[in-house]
A and B are shown apart, each in its own frame.
Chain A
Amino acid sequence: MRTPPGLSAAAFESAITQFKKAVGESWVYTAEQDTRLYRDAYSPFLGEPEERWASAAVAPASVEEVQAVVRAANQFKVPLYTLSTGRNLGYGGSAPAYSGSVVLDLKRMNRILEVNEANAYALVEPGVSYFDLYRYLQERKLRLWIDCADPGWGSLLGNALDRGSGYTLPYIRNHFEAHCGMEVVLADGEVLRTGMGALPNAKTWQQYKTGYGPWIDGLFSQSNFGVVTKMGFWLMPQPEAYRCGRVLVRRRDDLHELIRLVTLLENSAITNGCPDSSSPLLGIGSIGAQARFLAVDEPLPTEDPELAALRDAAEKGDPRGLEAYGRRHNLAYWTFDLKFYGPAKVVAAQWDSAKDILSAIPEAWFEDQGEYRFPLAEEPKDHARYPEFGIPSLNNFSLGARSSTNPTPSHGHMWLAPIIPRTAEAIFEANRVFAEAARQFGIPQLRFALPAWYWQRSAIFIFGFPVSEIPEENRHHREAFFHLIEVCGQHGWAEYRTGPVFQDAVAKQFSFNNHSLMRFHETLKDAVDPNGILSPGRYGIWPKHLRGARA
């Protein structure tokens, strides 16, 4: 058993004894063969000395056990690192931000405490996965949908606290925004409930979010101010129908008006699913199309040499040849898939209305991408639709298999995910910046790309940097990653979320007024967790005794 830094072996032994008293001997893991299961399978430092490691793990089954563990940790100043299911691969997995921390593993707290079908909400514990809640709803034939991240083995609560996203209605697919009410164990073992949950006899904890007075829920997301032990979520009533329609446009500069109008359609709730964009002429598939492409093991199509040359010219600023090629071959420069949930008559009318509005773009044309009715009569052949239908899946992992279309699969990946403005100008500018970094670092992944549209009013680029078992390759990608964090910051963009290795670097970008936001976080940290036992370093928030000089 390894000991957390700065702690004597005797003190740690005493803490472990207290943990065992709190949760039972079999739920405290100190053997190497158990603690190494908390390694980040996608660690950017895989196998290197800097890889984050856990000294032990403790798995409580109740709020009372969490309280006892936290109190013992406080007594012996043992750093804890809280995880719900620990499966946010690509963003850190289950490895602690501060090496040597004891993982506070909440997987055993996996009760679905309430599901209200009439008002479409649920109250769950941290260990409840998307699969768990899906199974619960299906077994009881409740006409409710979850909105799941992909893959679907993560925790609702954990993904929401990390501010993850999904694919259905805007206020549901923003997983933190979909929450309603929390229960939190503070560092001293005190339990608090937020929103209407602070009423001793609360009747609307999962129905009204903000309660009374300061709304503090955000303090417990992407942070280390408490251990969230319950969380309410708004769910989606099962719609009668889903429809997908595609708008296609001819010219490079049509992207400006296309994004403006799609944003208008979204902000007006005319389209209410998660849009998806592509560029057939540039060879950029939509997120759904990429999944479909990777799922089929067929030889890559031969690239037309003329098309490749025209793409080069377009990237250098002259798209006319590529646009003409598109006209000859009936290929669009840009497309957007618009998704609609609701009664069949309504989604048909919404798509008609969207077409009317988008027809303002010269030469725009439209393609129906199909309609589904629910409950589904048969299995959707298109696996890319699963998350759009609230069906959790692990299918992503089958897409990474070695095949003709994917001859060199990576060991894993780390996501670089900067938020940018929802404009064509920002997309072109970001691509110019990323292309420069790609040339500098030789990162082929940073070819011209389109963002994803999970969030309303902003766009998000998502680049998967490969993680391999070769330290030199990982070092190279880390350097590029750190560089891009800085570059994004210089342009007023920043990651919405990142793994522990990069959290300090991202936090430093939020430096307005001499880091006043981080200084506020640190003031809070010192007040609510003076011994700094809760997840030190998570999202760049360090307790006083571990706080380095800020650059």
Chain B
Amino acid sequence: MREVFSRRRFMSTGIAVSAAASLAAVATASRSTPSDPLGLRLSLDLALFDTRFPAAHAFARALAIRGVALAPFDGDVTPVWFEQLDPVWRQYPLTVAGLTTEGALFCLEQLAWDNGLRVAFRGIHASSPGAGTQHVLEASVHRSQDVQGRLSAALPWPAQVADIIASIDEPISAFPSEPEERSRASYQTRSRSQHSAQRLVSWLIAPKNWRMPDAVSG
């Protein structure tokens, strides 16, 4: 059954996929460990995207241009997690971004906890036919610059969100689960036509011990 998952990794996308082996190489490359993170710059290693949604493709393209490895999946996040993330996360807290359904993030977030990672940025993107897309971006209060004044209604939002996530290249604090501890911003953008309501989520999962230097975080 193992080969089943291997084949699925290459399904329904024209975008090159990073294999588990190359991720493992990232994990073992000569870089400092998360136990001594201060002063390091966070590196985004992998982006997951749900191939059923055009917005997710656009998000992935924007990150691929920046050299981020891509991992597509078709609704079921199991193969990406089982084949690529889990083997690496057991060794190294790989930083991962994505544009997926909330269900996929729900799974990944809980699985990430066991490996010392936390969701550090979250954007909800709810669209309905003819009504545009409502966005709510959330990050730690210490990273309000990641969510405030970032989305332009005149530009496609998936690439903008990819830019925001890719720009989080400094040590970050863990995403607080209590709403009052989050910085939040809402936006409205125009939508391309689509046949049904969608609710997608963009996110960044990063090692929890990465934190703002005291001088910055206050």
Chain A positions within 8 Å of B, measured between CB atoms, are 33, 36-37, 39, 41, 87, 107, 131, 134-135, 138-139, 151-153, 295, 297, 299, 375-376, 378-380, 383, 389, 391-395, 397-404, 407, 409
Contacts and interface: CB of A to CB of B under 8 A. Distances in A.
Contacts of B101: 397-398, 401-402
B111 interface: yes
A135 B83 CA distance: 10
A373 B7 CA distance: 18
A299 B176 CA distance: 37
Contacts of A138: 1-2
A464 to B, nearest CB: 14
B102 A33 contact: no
8 contacts: A33-B174, A107-B114, A153-B111, A295-B75, A299-B196, A398-B103, A402-B101, A403-B197
Task: Give chain B's interface residue range (CB within 8 Å of chain A).
Answer: 20 to 34
Contacts of B76: 383, 393-395, 398
B77 A398 contact: yes
A380 B1 CA distance: 10
Nearest to B77: A394
A397 B107 contact: yes
A397 B86 contact: no
Contact of A378 (B7, B78, B103): B7
Contacts of B177: 33, 36-37, 39
Contacts of B2: 138-139
Nearest to A390: B1
B7 A379 contact: yes
Nearest to B196: A404
A397 B1 CA distance: 22
Contacts of A135: 82
B4 A376 contact: yes
Interface in B74-127: 75-78, 81-82, 86, 101-104, 106-107, 110-111, 113-114, 126
Contacts of A378: 4, 7
Interface string B202-213: 000000100000
Nearest to A404: B196
B193 interface: no
Contact of A379 (B4, B176, B178, B199): B4
Given A295-B75, A393-B78, 15 more contacts: A33-B208, A37-B113, A134-B1, A135-B82, A138-B1, A380-B4, A394-B77, A395-B76, A395-B78, A399-B103, A401-B103, A402-B101, A402-B198, A404-B195, A404-B196
B8 interface: yes
B197 A407 contact: yes
A395 B199 CA distance: 17
> Looking at chain A's contact residues, is the secondary structure mostly helix, strand, loop, or mixed?
loop
Contact of A391 (B1, B103, B104, B110): B1
Contact of B106 (A39, A41, A389, A391): A41
A131 B82 contact: yes
Contacts of B4: 376, 378-380, 391
A404 B195 CA distance: 9
A403 B78 CA distance: 20
A409 B104 CA distance: 14
Interface string B145-185: 00000000000000000000000000000101110000000
A135 B1 CA distance: 10
Contacts of A376: 1, 4
A363 to B, nearest CB: 39
A206 B195 CA distance: 55
Contacts of B77: 394, 397-398
A395 B7 contact: no
Nearest to B4: A379
B20 to A, nearest CB: 12
A261 B195 CA distance: 45
Contacts of A393: 76, 78
A87 B107 CA distance: 10
A419 to B, nearest CB: 29
